[in-house]
């Protein structure tokens, strides 16, 4: 006989694990299926990226009991500086302007993964299958029938709600028949750590250029997380550069605001695509995180957006008699619409305008940066959205929740 569960979460990466913890904290039974073993070194999303966590995300992780496991490894972002190479104008944001101690925090993805795994160990309403693979998903009378392949053999589950948290190439999304709109930015992203001559001192820098954005995120001990975007056609050449040449490339793209960049860490390349599901829900099923939308890393909003997906779904499901009810799923899609669409439009628009090699746009781009820096309503709106407070955010991320 198949086992029964209220909620089946497919995918135990950063967003899937967060959702599992949120549901457990809300008192909901759930099953989490993850292809990787439950170890930091086995989970692909617990990698070398340096995540820029918004203030809202930190509030949410604190509410879930995850933040105490990660806080010691995090670095506060107290200021943000945005500019474009070769053009005048800049936007500067400071936490003190908005009455907060930090706009967000940087944290290595592997450390957030470690914190999530530690918190998962304390869950009492959650059943975890890892490593395990979902090999079939078929409609059932009041939900979905899932077939899993585990180390102990195959098993079947009946779930009233299936959650696809299984990433950009989502198996769940495909089985639900939900299409995705794909845009290839023809860019390759490199992440690494560097040591600037002058420490970032809590300031995160984002600099746009014709070849794509480059960012430096503050880390502990004077280090910085480098995010360097290059045209995809140049990706293999950049990957093959020795450290000195790679640092010279990064220096030329970022500039000398922090002095010389030295001591490059291991580089990790990522091909950048925008993959957006055409629907967030199907009968008794829902998509969250990268399965719902994979966006350009400009502005570092990917995980932050996915975490708000997870926390909103957990909030709606907390007291629901039926977590797969059509009305609940409609409410979820409606709650996520403004945040999702606004964040996707922002990231896509910035790539198209801020990085477009069009000299005629230079004065307009510079004036826009100056306006965001000097017009208080614009500046506050930019900061508040950057901190993750857009649309109808889940209660767990609000300031009162922290």
Classify 263 as helix, strand or coil.
coil
What are 293's two structure tokens? 């939308």
For 282-303, write each residue's pLDDT tens digit: 999 999 999 999 998 876 788 9
Contacts 24+ apart (CB under 8 A), 373-380: 373/89, 373/90, 373/91, 373/92, 379/91, 379/93, 379/97, 380/98
For 112-123, write each residue's pLDDT tens digit: 999 999 999 999
* Peptide linkage before 131 cis (omega within 30 of 0): yes
Looking at residue 346, the DSSP 8-state letter turns out to be: H
75-77, strands of its sheet edge to edge: 50-54, 104-108, 75-77
- The per-residue DSSP string of 112-152 comes to HHHHHHHHHTT-SSEEEE-SEEEEEEEEETTEEEEEEEETT
Per-residue pLDDT band at 402 (split at 50, 70, 90):
very low
Per-residue pLDDT band at 401 (split at 50, 70, 90):
very low
CA distance linking residue 200 with residue 219, whole number of Å: 8
Domains 3-74+109-182+273-357 and 185-271 share a fold: no
Query: How much helix, strand and coil, in percent to the nearest 5, is found in the chain?
Result: 40, 30, 30
- Which CATH fold would you assign to the domain 185-271? D-Amino Acid Oxidase; Chain A, domain 2 (3.30.9)
Please report the pLDDT score of residue 48 as a whole number. Answer: 75
pTM of the predicted model, to two decimals?
0.93
For 29-53, write each residue's pLDDT tens digit: 999 999 888 777 767 776 678 999 9
Classify 361 as helix, strand or coil.
helix
CA distance linking residue 195 with residue 265, whole number of Å: 9
Asked if residue 316 lies in contact with residue 280, where contact means CB atoms within 8 angstroms, the answer is no
Asked if residue 401 lies in contact with residue 57, where contact means CB atoms within 8 angstroms, the answer is no
- For the domain spanning 3-74+109-182+273-357, the CATH number is 3.50.50.60
Q: Where are the beta strands (DSSP E) in 17-72?
A: 30-33, 50-54
For 161-219, write each residue's pLDDT tens digit: 999 999 999 999 999 999 999 999 889 999 999 999 999 999 999 988 888 889 999 99
- What residues have CB less than 8 Å from 68, skipping those under 6 apart? 62
Looking at residue 204, the DSSP 8-state letter turns out to be: E
Classify 155 as helix, strand or coil.
strand
Domain positions in the chain are 3-74+109-182+273-357, 185-271
What is the average per-residue pLDDT within 216-243? 93
Backbone angles phi, psi at 292, to 5 degrees: -90, -40
For 72-117, write each residue's pLDDT tens digit: 999 999 999 998 887 788 899 999 999 999 999 999 999 999 999 9
What are 94's two structure tokens? 């400071």
Question: How many other CB atoms are there within 10 angstroms of residue 39's CB atom?
Answer: 13
Question: How many other CB atoms are there within 10 angstroms of residue 337's CB atom?
Answer: 13
């Amino acid at each position: 006989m198949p086992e029964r569960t209220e909620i089946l979460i497919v995918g135990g990466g950063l967003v899937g694990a967060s959702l599992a913890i949120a549901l457990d904290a809300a008192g909901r039974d759930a099953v989490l299926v993850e292809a990787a073993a439950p170890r930091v070194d086995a989970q692909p999303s617990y990698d070398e990226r340096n995540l820029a966590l918004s203030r809202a995300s930190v509030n949410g992780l604190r509410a879930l009991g995850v933040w105490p496991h990660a806080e010691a490894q995090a670095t506060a972002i107290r200021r943000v500086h945005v500019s474009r190479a070769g053009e005048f104008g800049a936007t500067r944001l400071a936490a003190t302007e908005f009455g907060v101690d930090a706009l967000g925090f940087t944290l290595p993805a592997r450390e957030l993964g470690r914190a999530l795994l530690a918190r998962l160990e304390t869950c009492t309403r959650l059943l975890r299958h890892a490593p395990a693979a979902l090999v079939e998903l078929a409609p059932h009378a009041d939900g979905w029938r899932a077939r899993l392949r585990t180390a102990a053999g195959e098993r079947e589950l009946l779930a009233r709600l299936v959650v696809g948290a299984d990433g950009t190439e989502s198996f769940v999304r495909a089985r639900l028949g939900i299409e995705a709109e794909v845009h290839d930015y023809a860019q390759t992203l490199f992440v690494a750590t560097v040591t600037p001559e002058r420490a970032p001192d809590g300031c995160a820098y984002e600099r746009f250029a014709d070849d794509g954005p480059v960012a430096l995120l503050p880390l502990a001990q004077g280090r910085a997380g480098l995010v360097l975007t290059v045209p995809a056609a140049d990706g293999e050449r950049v990957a093959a550069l020795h450290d000195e040449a790679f640092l010279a490339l990064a220096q030329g793209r970022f500039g000398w605001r922090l002095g010389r960049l030295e001591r490059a860490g291991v580089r990790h390349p990522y091909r950048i695509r925008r993959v957006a599901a055409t629907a967030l829900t199907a009968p008794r099923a829902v998509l969250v995180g990268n399965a719902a939308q994979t966006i350009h890393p400009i502005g570092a909003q990917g995980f932050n957006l996915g975490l708000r997906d997870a926390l909103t779904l957990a909030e709606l499901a907390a007291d629901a008699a039926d977590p797969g009810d059509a009305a609940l799923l409609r409410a979820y899609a409606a709650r996520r619409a403004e945040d999702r669409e606004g964040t996707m439009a922002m990231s896509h628009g910035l790539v198209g305008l801020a990085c477009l090699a069009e000299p005629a746009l230079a004065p307009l781009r510079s004036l826009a940066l100056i306006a965001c820096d000097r017009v208080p309503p614009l500046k506050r709106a930019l900061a508040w959205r950057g901190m993750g407070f857009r649309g109808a955010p889940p209660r767990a991320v609000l300031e009162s929740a922290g």
